[in-house]
Amino acid sequence: MAVSPPPLPLPADLAQVVESALAAHAARPGALLPIFHAIQDRAGYVPREALPRIAWAVNQSQADVLGTLSFYHDFRTHPPGRHVVKLCRAEACQARGSDAVVADVEGRLRVGMGRTREDGAVTLEPVYCLGNCALGPSAMVDGRLHARATADRIAALVEEAPPCR
């Protein structure tokens, strides 16, 4: 007997994002990462309220679903800032002075690494290699890769660029 799906206590637009991600991916083998990505690509994060419905759709326990979600650095369970800045912390960028750039960016944007500024303008995240290791320090701003990053450049991009969504 079919069990009715658990409720999706989310605003209509977010609920629609979750529903369409499940419709597109739930039947694929190993569906959880594609589902999470599909939701986060459009909503910016994976709302915890969606977990019971996701678990039901892939026929796994909520513990399994949360376990997978929480394992990966990429997935957020809270909305990010209007801009997302990722700064590379890895060795090749360190060799080109990234530690100083990180400190400068934290000061200029007034937000600590791994945090979202209180006004919701920007989220700063660490990343471990963007594959641009000859032209570091590397940064990704709203999904776009930038070489030879400086705090001035990053600040200008965050101030000028339209929000990523």
Residues of the shown chain interacting with another protein in the complex, contacts defined by CB under 8 A: 29-34, 36-37, 58, 64, 67-68, 71-75, 88, 90-96, 127-136, 138, 140, 143, 145-148
Residues 6+ apart with CB under 8 A from 85: 105, 109, 122, 123, 124, 125, 139, 140, 141, 154, 158
Residue 17 or 32 having the CB closest to another protein: 32
Look at the alpha carbons of 109, 115, 119, 121 in this order and tell me if their dihedral is positive or negative.
positive
Q: Min. distance of Cβ 149 from another protein in angstroms?
A: 9
Under 8 Å between Cβ of 84 and 97 = no
Residue 2 or 73 having the CB closest to another protein: 73
Residue 17 or 92 having the CB closest to another protein: 92
Q: Min. distance of Cβ 47 from another protein in angstroms?
A: 17
Residue 123 or 138 having the CB closest to another protein: 138
d(CA 94, CA 52): 42
The maximal CA–CA distance of the chain, rounded, in angstroms, is 61
Q: Min. distance of Cβ 62 from another protein in angstroms?
A: 14
Q: Min. distance of Cβ 114 from another protein in angstroms?
A: 11
Cα 83–chain centre separation: 11
